[in-house]
Amino acid sequence: MDSFAEPHKPLDTTISLEDVRAQVSKLETDLREKNIPLSGRIIHVCHYLPVTCAFSRRPRPSDIPSPPATPPAKASDIPPSPTAESQESALPAQQQSSQWQLHVRYGHSAMVSGIDSLAATHEQVFVGWTGDIEAGGAPPAGSQDASSGSESAKIPTASLAEEDKKELEGLLAGYRTRDEPKDGKPIHYVPVWLDDKEAHGHYDGYCKQTLWPLFHYLLWQDVATEYASADSHWAPYAAVNAAFAKRVAEVYRPGDLIWIHDYHLLLVPSLLRQALPEAAVGLFVHTPFPSSEVFRCLPRRKEILDGMLGANLVCFQTYSYSRHFTSSCVRVCGYEVTPRGGIDVQGHVTAIGYCPVGVDADRVAKDTLRPGIQPKLEALRALYEGKKIIVGRDKLDVVKGVVQKLRAFEKLLQDYPQWIGNVVLIQVTSPALSDSPKLERQVSEIVAHINGEYGSLDFIPVHHYHQTIKKDEFYALLSVADLGVITPLRDGMNTTSMEFVIAQERTKKSPLILSEFMGISSNMSQALQINPWNLREVAAAMHRGLTMSDDEKAHRHQQLYKTVTTHTSATWAEILAKQLLERLGSSNMARQTPFIPKGELERHYIKAKKRLFLFDYDGTLAPIVKVPSLAVPSKDTLKALEILASDPKNVVYIISGRDGEFLETHLGHIKNLGMSAEHGGFIRAPGEKTWRNFTESLDMSWMSEVLEIFKYYTERTTGSHIEVKKSSITWHYRSADPEWGLFQCHQCQDLLENNLARKRPIEVLVGKKNLEVRPIAVNKGEIVKRILYFNPDAEFVFCAGDDKTDEDMFRALLLFPQGPADQGPKHVTLDPPLSVTLLAGSKEEAEKYKPVELAIERDAIFTTAVGHSSKRTLAVWHVTTPEEVVEHMLHLVRDAVAEEQRASNL
């Protein structure tokens, strides 16, 4: 979608989970009726598995006996009291082995709960990295039991034997989470084994030092403590993505749906597209996606975009993120946007969508009823009795806006001094994945400044806790709040805001302040939305929230609660499945064009006594370039054409949209090469020197009218230009701003089709960054029919093209009726085409031409589209690039090439 498209539709909060599941079921039924294979499985590819793994090697006979390990020293002889958290982390005995222990991994709870909910209807495979393997005896670092400050010993992955890995894989095969439906279908957990150095170069390097800052509108040098290079960790990022793609290909079954999650794995879609061309692949990006002006700073921008565009569907949290991605594809890579808003890459169309993630509302609601919460809630009320409580909970990360929030709170106390002594801010900051001592020190200094300036012996305005708090404390804090303030500078989905709404349902129904730069802000319109950089606005919103009437609080809360409890993580996961199934049934994926078989091509070539070769030029023999005059044929292209044309059995034509002058300049020296210029407007037969004009007998007075319209749009579109040919006019906008040029192209096309084309014998063609108007009677298909008519004894046809105008050639070669080859006619008859009768000179001369019987057989016609296998085309075969067209030509004439090389060596 370009920037001038209509705005997105708001989130539908009326649709229920049951409704979406019914839609998914109906889609699957419809697809199976169309004989589209569906396995009923969904493969989720995530950076981490939802468990952490601890390993302690069991003694082996070959091990040297050693004295027993010294028992760990205890701080106290009094055993620690069991907490709800430790009970939750304990796993059933069948999910542990003599060597391996599995613990719940905390983080990405919304995504994992969404995947769990899909088990009610689909079998699933969860592919992810094991994470660092911890030494047995202590809870792994990723589990909630682990102390935030402790460093556990790690087991190098290279030290694990194959049988050790197999044992873990077997243990994971039987692993079940508490949230999986009891009567649901299984989720198979498949580990990806990574080299430790590559794994950390991928995650701690490229992901956290380059992509994470960039996607949150920070450049890498803004967050690095030393000299930063955006490319230093590219190699491990690419290697890890390749390892993930290989693992997915190993577990894939035909008919599986594949969903790849987040920015850690942006290259996997294109790698899977190469390995599994028929697979239905979706990519969901959980983070924000920056504007094209920020994204284009990334040195590996094209590799990242091409990696993402290997998917059939790329989905984001919000419409604006999807628009930024589309703009980046158009501006950075020069790809075209389809009428439905997809990205066209050599015929493979990637659909773009958005669907915000929710939380597991039922699970959060149950958590708010935990018995440990109420005592802590009462203690907080007693501690801050008579004061309003503002609550904030964020990671201590520069993008979370903690510094701006604290300064806004200070602004509240400045502008509304009546709150001094009557309001407290409880700010909890959990440690971020990458510690920032500078930011921690800055936050501490601001807190100390506010407390020193506005506090007293009996009043401390800001209470800052830099620690990971327990679940009971967290929900007690959310429940007791008079105002929630979540103001990141940039964020994708923030679960705390949704958990706040659910926690408030049973208490005060307090208002919520949200940053407008959050992915979920557009769906939570009843929150007080602010610009976190505008401290005065944030302070005013705090004052408004603290003084809001009970009726307004209840009304806003009701709307927010409905949004949060309707669009949950389960609904999100079902919608993703639905969207990918819709893509599976679309015309772009309904038929995959197979790659042209060299063996079949060669067999028919050798057998035929006469052969026709029909080539488009731009995009087929030469790559598309920004400046059309620079699209010159390569040495290999010229060599192949020269050898083909020199064989008396071959009739070779270039059928191009270029004018005759260009074709003669670059290809005119090749003997016995036929040419057709201006999309069939002119033809020069092999061995002839003069061009024959098909438009001489046609009414061409429309050209002046079209020229005036094109001049109007050229004046208003910087970088565009007009190309006037003898039989057509083309408006090019390849050098214009891509989004503005596309918008102007649509406007001009609409004007031509709805006004001029209705009363003139013309047709309007949308090409690659151009708009062409030509006579209806003239097209490449008519030229192909003419060549066939005058060469009825041809027993082999190879026709290659890459764009919409070449579909006319493929259509002309649909000579045989559809159906099994053994049931149809062996040969067909061709009536005199318009391209023959137009040049007859008179009606009497035209009537002399009679139908001819063609010698060609169905299997000897090789119509070949240049582009992706999912490209919509009438061609039977495909190749991916112009270089492959030339390679196939050279393959056919390799004996002649070898003979030429032998002669040159003598």
Cβ 351 vs Cβ 342: under 8 Å: yes
Q: At a CB cut-off of 8 Å and minimum separation 6, what does 62 contact?
A: none
Name residues whose C-beta falls within 8 Å of residue 264's C-beta, 6 or more positions apart in sequence.
Answer: 47, 202, 203, 207, 240
Rounded-to-integer distance, Cα 122 and Cα 259, Å = 13
Q: State the Cα–Cα distance between residues 393 and 487, nearest whole angstrom.
A: 10
> Which two tokens mark 467?
């620690």
User: What is the CB neighbour count within 10 angstroms for residue 712?
Assistant: 12
Residues 427, 464 contacting (CB under 8 angstroms) = yes
Q: Residues 45, 46, 52, 57: is their CA dihedral positive or negative?
A: positive
Tokens of 232: 């230093």
Rg (CA), the chain: 34
Q: What is the 3-state secondary structure (H, E, C) of 810-845?
A: HHHCCCCCCCCCCCCCCCCEECCCHHHHCCCCCHHH
The position carrying tokens 């450049």 is 219
Which residues share a beta bridge with 126? 44, 189
| C-beta of residue 564 within 8 angstroms of C-beta of residue 502 | yes
- CA–CA gap between residue 199 and residue 233 (Å, rounded): 11
Concatenated DSSP letters of 313-362 = EEEESSHHHHHHHHHHHHHHH-PEEPTTS-EEETTEEEEEEE------HH
513: phi then psi, degrees, rounded to nearest 5: -105, 125
Active-site option among 116, 616, 659, 803: 616
Q: Distance between CA atoms of 211 and 219, rounded to whole angstroms?
A: 9
**Distance between CA atoms of residues 757 and 765, nearest Å:** 11
- How far is residue 538's CA from residue 529's CA, in Å, rounded to a whole number? 9
Question: Is 616 an active-site residue?
Answer: yes
Q: Which residues are catalytic?
A: 616
